[in-house]
Amino acid sequence: MLANYLIGLREGLEAALVVSILVAYLVKSDRRHLLPRIWLGVGVAVAISLLFGAVLTFGPKGLTFEAQEAIGGLLSLVAVGFVTWMIFWMASAAATMSGELKAAVDQAADAKPWSLMVVALLAVGREGLETALFLWAATQASTRGTGSSLVPLLGALLGLATAVVLGYLFYRGAVRINLTRFFTWTGAFLIIIAAGVLAYGIHDLQEAGILPGLHNLAFDVSQVIPPTSWYGTVLKGVFNFSPATTWLEATAWVLYVVPAMALFLRRIRRRSRPAKAAEPPVPVSGSSR
């Protein structure tokens, strides 16, 4: 539940910051009449994301076991790719996100009437689709063998709700947090979660018969860490840890975590060197005067 809460919080906060910047800029630039187009774009993006999540959840149910495992494994690999791109993109582009969005608003406001809705749709929809895919993959990984996905989904919903509240408080100017530090810590944590999803995807592809080595275990600590124990459940839910791990799963986990974490921390250090006190701009208050 904790892992999904942090996924929902981080991904939701990115989308909430986008909406806050768009709304605050329109209010500050005296273009309140364009706000309904922003909210329409956000609404369409949310609806598409929910539909995508529903297709992921209920789509493969009528397929054979092997087909379900193959689809689940491939989608898990895609989710890892998307979230890795998102982590590195946010680490380097967060500081310029506000300026880029404002430029897009100015360009859209002078173009066709509904261009602004498309700006909001694309900005929020990208985050929504990535969130739906990664939450689905992380939930599948953390509930393998338990059959219950309600607790992870509840954690994700609580994270998203927290992000919405924080986004509103940012907009009102009522709260500030060090966004650089927040995205650094959550980015590092997401790399660990993504590694677990990657290992889960590898295992699914092994069960589907696409990859070999399903019964070639690197270790089996099920006697020490029973999957049904509270600590086994915590490790599974937070880090997607599997007590019985194949050599291919373990190799994929290490080959992902080591270079990804090293490159991520290197990029963070390089970005913080020129201006140690700087942080990504937080939307100014958009309240009316």
What does each of the 289 residues of the chain score in pLDDT, given as a tens digit? Answer: 667 788 888 888 888 888 888 888 888 888 888 889 889 999 999 999 889 888 887 776 667 888 888 988 998 899 898 888 888 877 766 666 677 777 877 777 766 767 878 888 887 888 888 888 888 887 777 666 555 556 667 888 888 899 888 888 877 775 666 767 777 888 888 899 889 889 989 999 999 999 998 889 999 998 898 888 878 877 876 677 888 999 999 999 999 999 999 999 888 887 766 544 445 554 444 444 3
Output phi, psi for 208, to 5 deg: -80, -10
Parse the chain into domains and list their residue ranges: 2-272
List CB contacts of 154: < 8 A, sequence separation 6 or more.
1
Q: How far apart are CA 226 and CA 243, in angstroms?
A: 7
Place of tokens 């599997």: 242
Tell me the pTM: 0.73
Rounded to whole angstroms, the maximal C-alpha distance in the chain is 67
Strand partners, 220: 244
Residue type, 131: T
Q: How far apart are CA 101 and CA 94, in angstroms?
A: 11
Strand partners, 245: 219
